[in-house]
Amino acid sequence: MNVLILGSGGREHTFAWKLSQSPLLKKLYIAPGNAGTGNLGENINVNADDFPAVKSICLEKDINLVVVGPEDPLVKGIHDFFLADTELKDIPVIGPQKAGAELEGSKDFAKEFLFRHNIPTAAYQTFTSEDLDQGYAFLETLKAPYVLKADGLAAGKGVLILDSIDEAKAELKEMLTEAKFGAASAKVVIEEFLDGIELSVFVLTDGNSYKVLPTAKDYKRIGEGDTGLNTGGMGAISPVPFADDILMRKIEDRIVKPTVEGLKKDKLPYKGFIFIGLIKVDNEPIVIEYNVRMGDPETEAVLPRIKSDLLELFQAVGEGKLDQKTLELDPRFATTVMMVSGGYPEAYEKGKVMSGIDTVKDSIVFHAGTKQVGAEVQTNGGRVMALTSFGDSINEALAKSFANAEKVNFDGKYYRTDIGFDL
Ligand code: AMP
Ligand code: GLY
């Protein structure tokens, strides 16, 4: 099969790495890709949001399956675009259609879905600029801290957690009446604050049956001890040690099954990944959010633990035959440490020459923001490169990732040395 992966981050390099191991793969294309994916297949300089250009690649390169990495093209309806096109309609797309992608594209839609299907989640109400006063009144009924969420996609920045009610009211006003997050905050979900420890569960579904993939925990803040600004993710650990059999049974029975059943009941065709953000409060799992794709950097820790042929699983998703496949996992821990550009997540410089990548031993190198320039690999983003390692314990795996993070160099390199500190 010829496969096209859409996206350019560490997640997409991990997909490329995993799919390259499949005997079913003939040729791999990545649009736009990075320096790492370029070693495994052919990068094509097309943006995933440019659907007509994606179509051209599919026809020119005789693509048999498309894997959509990021949420943007899904929420914009890339899968629907394929289904509506006579030349593309038979190419399986891994990623939901637009209607199902609303689980990530609209927080209000996701909350309605969760309540409609009796899936545990925080109490909430949704407001627009017309009912700002009701928004203030709802805030008065809650206890601090206050959770405000822009309804639409806001590049991971749309959630605010505020300690004082005055701040919460001021932010609500700014989101609704001054478009703080653009159109994404035309609606705001105000939610009860949940106090607990987070984990993520990943599900692959063909819309009927599903496989629960390994759990992971990511580290979103830039600073050690989970301090400072939010980032795309500074590292990940899989599996999550506190996700024992009892908790996983609750998650599957109360959350995963009703989610897949709910999609069916609501007639939302869904072939792809469901990334369920959970919080464990007193041993009970509660849904914080859905994403309609894999996480980044969670993918870098989760996929290496899947022993089964991922392309075979994707093919089964396309054919609606996922129930006929089994999922085999590596029991060891995988840890991912992300190296980022100095200054990130605020202003940072690109184009720094990287060295030492060839000296990495006992870790898998996943490129994120990198670019091949002649013989050089240069930095090309905030999150630059992920190092994933295996171990029988988290610490054993982490020691390898950290040792290798010392060997790879570029001007301004930074990484967190406390990934997994809370486990
Ligand atoms: P989201 O984009 O919905 O995942 O929210 C971003 C982050 O905000 C989550 O990963 C949590 O750390 C935090 N968060 C979101 N909702 C809540 C909530 N109801 N209670 C506590 N923390 C939350
Ligand atoms: N690491 C979080 C995300 O991919 O949304």
- Cα distance between residue 26 and residue 38, in whole Å: 15
Nearest CA to ligand 1 atom 15: 288
Nearest atom within ligand 1 for CA of residue 191: 19
Topology of domain 123-191, CATH: Dna Ligase; domain 1 (3.30.1490)
Instruction: Give me 58's structure tokens.
Output: 């599919």
Nearest CA to ligand 1 atom 11: 288
Compute, in angstroms, the gap from residue 119 CA to the centroid of ligand 1.
Answer: 17
Of residues 8, 96, 88, 92, the one with CA closest to residue 51: 88
151 lines ligand 1 (CB under 6 A): no
Compute, in angstroms, the gap from residue 288 CA to the centroid of ligand 1.
Answer: 6
Own/partner contacts of 367-374, CB < 8 Å, gap of 24 or more, are 367/10, 367/13, 367/34, 367/35, 367/36, 367/37, 368/9, 368/10, 368/13, 368/34, 368/296, 368/297, 368/338, 369/9, 369/34, 369/341, 370/34, 370/35, 370/36, 371/34, 371/35, 372/35, 372/38
- Cα distance between residue 272 and residue 316, in whole Å: 11
Instruction: Give me 288's structure tokens.
Output: 């914080």
Instruction: Give me 381's structure tokens.
Output: 């983003």
What type of residue is 273? F
Beta bridge partners of 306: 329
* Residue 412 contacts residue 349 (beta carbons within 8 Å): yes
191 lines ligand 1 (CB under 6 A): yes
Nearest atom within ligand 2 for CA of residue 297: 1
Please list every protein residue whose CB sits less than 6 Å from any atom of ligand 2.
Answer: 218, 233, 291, 295-296, 298
Q: How many helices (H) does the chain have, and how many strands (E)? A: 13, 22
What type of residue is 381? G
Nearest CA to ligand 2 atom 2: 295
277 lines ligand 1 (CB under 6 A): yes
Domain boundaries, the chain: 2-98, 123-191
Nearest atom within ligand 1 for CA of residue 122: 19
Q: Minimum-distance ligand to the CA of 195?
A: 1
Pocket test for ligand 2, best of 202, 237, 292, 298 (most atoms within 8 A of CB): 298
pTM: 0.96
Compute, in angstroms, the gap from residue 295 CA to the centroid of ligand 1.
Answer: 15
What type of residue is 262? G
pLDDT by 10s per residue, the chain, length 423: 999 999 999 999 999 999 999 999 999 999 999 999 999 999 999 999 999 999 999 999 999 999 999 999 999 999 999 999 999 999 999 999 999 999 999 999 999 999 999 999 999 999 998 999 999 999 999 999 999 999 999 887 888 999 999 999 999 999 999 888 888 988 999 999 999 999 999 999 999 999 999 999 999 999 999 999 889 999 999 999 999 999 999 999 999 999 999 999 999 999 999 999 999 999 999 999 999 999 999 999 999 999 999 999 999 999 999 999 999 999 999 999 999 999 999 999 999 999 999 999 999 999 999 999 999 999 999 999 999 999 999 999 999 999 999 999 999 999 999 999 888
- Cα distance between residue 106 and residue 201, in whole Å: 20
Question: Which CATH number is correct for 2-98, 3.20.20.70, 3.40.50.20, 3.40.50.11260, 3.40.50.1820?
Answer: 3.40.50.20
Compute, in angstroms, the gap from residue 153 CA to the centroid of ligand 2.
Answer: 13
Nearest CA to ligand 2 atom 4: 295
Contact residues for 253 (Cβ-Cβ < 8 A; gap 6+): none
Compute, in angstroms, the gap from residue 289 CA to the centroid of ligand 1.
Answer: 7
